[in-house]
Amino acid sequence: MLLTIDIGNTNVVAVVYDEKKERRFTQRFKTVKDDALLFYTHWLKDDFLPHIHGLDLSAYCLSCVVPSITADVRSALTSVLGIDGINVSTRTVPDFVIHLVNPSELGADFIATAFGAMAKYDAPLILADLGSATKISVINANGEFEGGIISPGVGISIDALNRFIPHLPEIKMEVPANVIGKDTITSMQSGWLHGTIASVEGLADKIERELGMKSTRVLTGGYSISLHQDFTGFAFEEFLLNEGLYEIYHKTHDSF
């Protein structure tokens, strides 16, 4: 069994896969950045191991976009679980063609999401990951990383609005039925959520025009769980990044 761990700036998603790529365990919780070694050691002992009785873990595959805690997380995994694994980076996938000025800048989350999508969909691909940041990856028709877009995420956007205009009311993350708001709350919800959706869909249209061809559109990331039904023309994949970690590990190891 393979433990895949996606550590983002806001959330951690852990998924255990068997040899047939079936999910046998999933868990999502807030990313902790302080006293990381202590926290992740306790998480593994108290909240992870008690729930995976009968699952024989042999390795892990990690994507972590918080460099300050990567070493501590890996140390906790090794000491508590007694298994080895890999931390995804461009060095992990040397055959993946990356069309960036500095290819080594490409983060593990972009890499894993790309591999997860390429295992299920035909290229070219437009991958929208709604997390702390809204990230759009472009995979060209040859299965190469063409480039991407990074913008403030769903949570950051509303936090900024409330911080700079503190007299505005608190609002729920609910997409209003109409784009035109009829009061302060629905106007804010529309600008926040319809605005996010329109931005991603509009950028996807512009990307296709730039590529000169239609692309498969895929939506993933923590906020996509609540918003995916309001997107048009996007397939929804809740565990795309973890599936990509599975694919990356599988490509470099015969079994687990």
Tell me: the pLDDT tens digits for 78-115? 999 999 999 999 999 999 999 999 999 999 999 999 99
pLDDT at 252: 84
205 catalytically annotated:
no
What is the mean predicted confidence (pLDDT) over 231-255?
A: 94
The residue annotated as part of the active site, out of 6, 72, 109, 129, is 109
Range list for CATH 3.30.420.40 in the chain: 2-90+245-252, 123-236
Closest CA to 73 of 106, 23, 18, 32: 32
Average pLDDT, the chain: 96
CA 11-17-23 angle, 5° bins: 75
Q: What is the pLDDT of residues 144-203, one digit of tens each?
A: 999 999 999 999 999 998 889 988 898 999 999 999 999 999 999 999 999 999 999 999
pLDDT at 255: 65
Decide if domain 123-236 falls under CATH 3.30.420.40.
Answer: yes
Q: How confident is the model at residue 256 (pLDDT cuts 50, 70, 90)?
A: low
Q: Report the C-alpha gap between 239 and 247 in whole angstroms.
A: 12
CATH superfamily, with its number, for domain 2-90+245-252: ATPase, nucleotide binding domain (3.30.420.40)
